[in-house]
């Protein structure tokens, strides 16, 4: 009887170990997909091609360097682990910033591209020919997007379907307006040239207003950066001047609670200021 109990206990322990190892593999695979493969795929949509393995090695190296630096300077394992996790997730933050800049560039190029397409159609070219001419003449990154649309169209995809795929890939109101205007012209007819001219003029006015708003709210955005960075800079300065007095902030439970409150207040202030200065046109 004791031997049977021992055997059952060993089997249960082995099953638990196998289940734990499987859970670790699943968690590691999910983390790799979300932290590495998803940013690499999103960067490929921006015509920035990086191998996931290379991105993984760079992220791991950044995490190790951040961990070593935080342990040497802050002498807090908890903050060192937080710094390592933040460094490992940096590719997603970089991808988000690059994507925002990419979309802004595409939106700024669309009015001129619409005017060029209207001129080509008015001169007698078919819609597909006009898009082909515009894709060859317009600057990057919009040129890449239109070239991709025309390449898919030559492979047999309908032109309106290829344009809808571009609209899904580029979540911009300007792109949706362009795709909707072209789709309506292909289905029900009408003056596509006049529609494109009016859209181009409207988008130019919209971009002028957005530029003025960015100039008027630049002080508020700078204030958000200063208000957020000032406590962090002051903490680092005090840590360099008097590390003995600052050590309880990173090594005690009370200090961790203070750091958590600081992080919460900093994040809340940043979001509130960004919400105030974010004016949608």
- Say which CATH topology domain 104-200 has: Receptor-associated Protein (1.20.81)
Instruction: Please enumerate in sequence order all residues whose Cβ is within 8 A of that of 242, keeping only pairs 6 or more positions apart, or say none.
Output: none
Q: What residue ranges do the domains of the chain occupy?
A: 35-88, 104-200, 217-277
pLDDT band at 23 (very low <50, low <70, confident <90, very high): low
pTM above 0.85, yes or no: no
For residue 46, the 8-state DSSP code is T
> Crossing angle for the helix pair 173-188 and 192-216, nearest 10 degrees?
170
pLDDT over threshold 80, residue 85: no
The length of the chain in residues reads 281
- Of 82, 155, 160, residue with least CA distance to 128: 160
CB–CB of 203/114 below 8 Å?
yes
Measuring CA to CA, which residue among 180, 185, 188 is closest to residue 163?
180
| Mean pLDDT of all residues in 245-256 | 80
CA-CA distance, 205 to 197, in Å (whole number)?
13
In the predicted structure, residue 15 carries a pLDDT above the cut 60: no
DSSP state of 92: H
When pLDDT is cut at 50, 70 and 90, the band that residue 281 belongs to is: low
pLDDT reported for residue 20: 46
Model confidence pLDDT, tens digit, residues 94-126: 777 788 888 888 888 999 898 898 888 888 888
pLDDT 10s digits, 212-239: 888 888 888 888 888 888 888 888 788 7
pLDDT for the residue 21: 52
Q: Any long-range contacts for 102-109 (C-beta under 8 Å, 24+ apart)?
A: 102/46, 102/141, 103/170, 103/171, 103/172, 105/141, 105/142, 106/141, 106/142, 106/145, 106/170, 106/172, 106/174, 106/175, 107/172, 107/174, 107/175, 107/203, 107/207, 108/207, 109/138, 109/139, 109/141, 109/142
pLDDT above 70 coverage of the chain, percent: 76
């Amino acid at each position: 009887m004791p031997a049977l109990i021992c055997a059952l206990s060993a089997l249960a322990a082995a099953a638990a170990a196998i289940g734990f190892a499987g859970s670790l593999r699943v968690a590691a695979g999910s983390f790799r997909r979300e932290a590495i493969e998803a940013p690499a795929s999103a960067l490929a949509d921006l015509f920035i091609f990086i191998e996931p393995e290379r991105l993984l090695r760079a992220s791991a190296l950044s995490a190790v360097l951040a961990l070593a630096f935080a342990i040497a300077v802050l002498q807090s394992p908890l903050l060192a682990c937080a710094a390592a996790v933040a460094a490992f997730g940096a590719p997603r933050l970089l991808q988000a910033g690059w994507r925002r800049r990419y979309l802004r560039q595409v939106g700024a190029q669309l009015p001129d591209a619409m005017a060029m397409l209207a001129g080509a159609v008015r001169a007698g070219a078919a819609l597909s020919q006009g898009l082909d001419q515009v894709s060859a003449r317009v600057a990057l990154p919009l040129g890449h997007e239109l070239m991709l649309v025309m390449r898919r169209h030559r492979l047999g995809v309908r032109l309106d379907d290829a344009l809808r795929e571009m609209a899904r890939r580029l979540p911009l109101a300007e792109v949706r307006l362009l795709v909707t205007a072209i789709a309506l012209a292909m289905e029900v007819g009408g003056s596509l040239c006049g529609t494109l001219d009016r859209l181009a003029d409207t988008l130019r006015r919209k971009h002028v207003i957005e530029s003025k708003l960015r100039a008027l709210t630049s002080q508020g955005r700078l204030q958000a950066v200063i208000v957020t960075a000032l406590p962090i800079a002051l903490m680092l300065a005090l840590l360099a001047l008097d590390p003995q007095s600052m050590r309880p902030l990173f090594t005690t439970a009370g200090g961790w609670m203070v750091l958590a409150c600081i992080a919460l207040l900093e994040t809340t202030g940043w979001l509130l200021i960004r919400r105030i200065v974010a004016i949608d046109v």
